[in-house]
Amino acid sequence: MKIFAETKKRFKLSMIIVILVASVISPAISNAYEYYGWWNDPYKMIPGISSGTYIVDTIDNYNYNGKVFMFQTAWNSAMDEWNNRTEANIQNSINVSGPERIRMRGENYGNVGLQGWVTVYKNNVVVGDGDATPLPVTSGWDYAIATLNAHSLRDYTYPQYRAVGIHELGHALGLNHETDGTPSIMNDKLYPPNSYLVPQQDDINGINNLY
Ligand SMILES: [Zn+2]
């Protein structure tokens, strides 16, 4: 009987330890998203992301060596992903008026080793690049140019290059790369067919907690 009581006591104690440890670890797991700048004062889109417009500065039926890209449709759809899933509300300038916050491009930029990238500006001056090294983001921004590179996307399907567009817009809205393995469209080490195709819960939390 004594042994049983002791086992029970030990079990209770170990359960308390498990709960304590879990409560310490879980915030890190549920908040894995990364921002630019300082953890307690991250850089972001200075005017916020709940207004403003974007311009799609590319076309559908873009032909690169016989591969046809639907760049315009992909960019519109990529922005919809963030507008529909997060607090973001940046609309196509064709439909609403307002200050331009994001310009989206898509064409052949050659063998530069990047499927896409985004450059951020403050008062018309470049303050960083979300993908191309070595241009770290050094301040908040009020404007972003997001790019898709036909050359490096030539073997990508529509959902796959659309996902690169979603990734670049994630940068434009404030997310840095996700590096700890949490499911995220901001992971920059996963390539098709292993990359994510839509924003994941951690990405959605990351945007909504930033603004
Ligand atoms: Zn990136």
pLDDT exceeds 70 at position 23 = no
- Which position has the token pair 């591969």? 67
Where do the structural domains in the chain lie, given as residue ranges? 1-30, 36-210
pLDDT exceeds 60 at position 2 = no
- Output the CA 186–ligand 1 centroid distance in Å: 6
SS3 103: strand
Neighbours of ion ligand 1 (CB under 5 A): 131, 188
- Return the pLDDT at 131: 78
pLDDT exceeds 80 at position 210 = yes
- Output the CA 21–ligand 1 centroid distance in Å: 33
- Whether the CB-CB separation of 183 and 200 falls below 8 Å is answered with yes
Task: List, for residues 154-204, the tens digit of each pLDDT value.
Answer: 999 999 999 999 999 999 999 999 988 899 999 999 999 999 999 999 999
- Output the CA 67–ligand 1 centroid distance in Å: 24
- Output the CA 10–ligand 1 centroid distance in Å: 48
Does residue 25 or residue 129 have the better pLDDT? 129
Architecture of domain 36-210: 3-Layer(aba) Sandwich (3.40)
Where does the pLDDT of residue 142 fall: very low under 50, low under 70, confident under 90, or very high at 90 and above? very high
- Output the CA 93–ligand 1 centroid distance in Å: 25
> Computed from CA positions of residues 125, 174, 169, 137, in that sequence, does the dihedral angle turn out positive or negative?
positive
Average pLDDT, the chain: 88
The contacts of residue 149 (CB under 8 Å, 6+ apart) are 107, 108, 109, 110, 112, 114, 115, 116, 117
- Output the CA 28–ligand 1 centroid distance in Å: 21
Task: List, for residues 55-98, the tens digit of each pLDDT value.
Answer: 999 999 999 999 999 999 999 999 999 999 999 999 999 999 99
Does residue 24 or residue 144 have the better pLDDT? 144
- Output the CA 76–ligand 1 centroid distance in Å: 19
- Return the pLDDT at 39: 84
